[in-house]
């Protein structure tokens, strides 16, 4: 796995500060979009506002920056995305204060000493109730995804400094905020990030719960009455929580159920040459032959009959 940038920057940082501006928050709204991508900050109180960003540019359209600012909500809205597309992620290290983040229906509180990943290709929100300090690693999604790190697996997941695999990351950030040049801090940081995210993904309670739900669905593909409400009731959770479990995996309940049924039908078609395709479809919960055929072709690029001819 190779995740570190081939070269590190020796350029001085870019610095933005609201000091001296008559309308500091208006300047801040322009600043954050200039530093990163189109974002929509909003004030949440009437207290005097101050904010500062110190940003080091890196190769491959990446950057690492320190942010010190007052209370606000920062959103990446659908309008922002239409205005300025951005195939990047934010990895935010909370150093002081607290933030509340939400993306894909996933909500998390990020305390000092925690990090979180947000995907700039989709709407998100960050709320800061008071003064805070962060370090933000802004980088193309491809840097992670080309090395097997699926960004959707980690959106909105808080990883604490106390986690053994995250401690080296925060040590690197401590060095950066302590004045150490970025070129001395960043080598190896991408590998640490990938390692930390991968380990954070494993064996969390929510992931185990999702696996149980998915297994429950797999065992009931023939049940035409299976639904989010019925499944949530079986596990004694709310339907909203059920949808959040699937959102963590970048999936919906309906899409998972449809894909599971189609994969089961594909396997049965290949193993049972003489069984009518319509019987296979109905046995796996499809109630319409035409719907099954359309969905099958869309997923596999050919019809059920075309697949059978390959047997």
Residues 31 and 128 in one domain: yes
Q: What is the CATH number of the domain that holds 93?
A: 2.60.120.10
What pLDDT was estimated at residue 171? 74
pLDDT digits (tens, 9 = 90+) for 205-221: 567 778 889 999 999 99
96 shares a domain with 215: no
Classify the C-alpha dihedral 205-207-211-216 as positive or negative.
positive
For residue 134, the model assigns a pLDDT of 94
| Same domain as 188, residue 149 | yes
- Residue 273's pLDDT is what? 84
* Overall number of domains in the chain: 2
Q: How many helices (H) and strands (E) does the chain have?
A: 13, 12
pLDDT number for residue 194 = 64
Which residues of the chain fall short of a pLDDT of 70? 1-11, 147-148, 162-166, 175-192, 194-206, 248-250, 311
| pLDDT at residue number 148 | 67
| Same domain membership, residue 299 and residue 262 | yes
pTM of the predicted protein model: 0.61
Domain boundary among 173, 201, 229: 201
Identify any residues that bridge with 109 across adjacent strands, giving them in sequence order. Answer: 100
Give the domain extent around 184: 14-201
The predicted structure's pLDDT at residue 223: 94
Strand partners, 133: 68, 96
pLDDT of residue 89: 92
């Amino acid at each position: 796995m190779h995740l570190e940038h081939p070269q590190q920057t020796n350029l001085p940082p870019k610095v933005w500060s609201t000091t001296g501006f008559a309308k500091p928050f208006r300047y801040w709204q322009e600043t954050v979009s200039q530093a990163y991508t189109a974002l929509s900050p909003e004030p949440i109180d009437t207290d005097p506002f101050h904010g500062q960003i110190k940003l080091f540019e890196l190769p491959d359209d990446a950057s690492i920056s320190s942010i010190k600012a007052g209370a606000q909500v920062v959103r990446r809205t659908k309008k922002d995305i239409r205005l300025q597309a951005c195939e990047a992620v934010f990895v935010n290290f909370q150093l002081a204060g607290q933030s509340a983040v939400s993306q894909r229906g996933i909500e998390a509180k990020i305390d000092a000493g925690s990090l979180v990943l947000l995907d700039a290709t989709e709407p998100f929100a960050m709320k800061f109730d008071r003064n805070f300090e962060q370090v933000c690693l802004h980088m193309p999604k491809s840097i992670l995804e080309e090395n097997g790190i699926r960004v959707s697996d980690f959106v909105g997941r808080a990883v604490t400094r106390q986690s053994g695999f995250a401690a080296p990351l925060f040590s690197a950030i401590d060095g950066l905020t302590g004045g150490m040049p970025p070129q001395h801090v960043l080598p190896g940081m991408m590998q640490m990030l990938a390692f930390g995210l991968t380990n954070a993904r494993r064996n969390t309670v929510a992931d185990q719960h999702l696996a149980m739900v998915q297994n429950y669905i797999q065992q009931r593909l023939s049940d035409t009455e299976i639904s989010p409400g019925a499944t949530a009731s079986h596990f004694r959770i709310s339907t909203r929580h059920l949808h959040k479990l699937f959102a963590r995996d970048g999936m919906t309940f309906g899409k998972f159920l449809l894909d599971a049924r189609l994969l089961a039908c594909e396997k049965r078609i290949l193993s049972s040459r003489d069984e009518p395709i319509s019987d296979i479809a109905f046995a796996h919960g499809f109630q319409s032959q035409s719907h099954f055929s359309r969905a099958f072709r869309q997923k596999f690029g050919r019809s059920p009959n075309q697949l059978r001819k390959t047997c």
